[in-house]
Amino acid sequence: MNEIMPNKRRESKKAIIIAGAQKVFSTKGFLNVTMQDIIDACGISRGGIYLYFRATDDIFFETITQRSVRQFDDIREAVKNEPSFDQLIRVYLGEHKNRLINHINGAPSLLRAMYEYGRL
């Protein structure tokens, strides 16, 4: 039982860091984010963050990984309803189109950060 609580606490803190980082990356992109920005966004001390991640690159990679897992979970759930492939791809591409339009209109998005990260 003692091992379960620290693991839950660890995962909870990691989730707080990722949630704060996602907001920062969504507004500032990747290149303009510092570890201090993420510290300020999630309210965890510098030493606390370094217990989980070594650098902003590591945090960004985890943020994108978790986002991708959620997206594929959504797709797997949609497949349970047995839609046609055309319907499934139309919904998927429609969601991406909406994200691009919202990003162009100034809504926070990870698109810029993903582009910047991919260019490194």
Residue ranges per structural domain of the chain: 4-119
Distance between alpha carbon 11 and the CA centroid of its chain, in Å?
A: 15
| Residues 22-58: tens digit of each pLDDT | 999 999 999 999 999 999 999 999 999 999 999 999 9
The full 3-state SS of 31-42, as one line of letters, equals CCCCHHHHHHHH
Question: Which of the listed CATH numbers 1.10.760.10, 2.60.120.10, 2.60.40.1930, 1.10.357.10 matches domain 4-119?
Answer: 1.10.357.10
Cα(109)–Cα(99) distance, rounded to whole angstroms? 7
| Residues 71-110: tens digit of each pLDDT | 767 777 777 888 888 888 888 788 878 877 777 777 788 8
| Residues 7-16: tens digit of each pLDDT | 888 899 999 9
3-state helix, strand, coil in the chain (%, to 5): 75, 0, 25
102 touches 109 (CB < 8 A): yes
Q: CA separation (Å) from 57 to 41, 63, 117? A: 16, 10, 8
At residue 77, φ and ψ (nearest 5 deg) are -65, -40
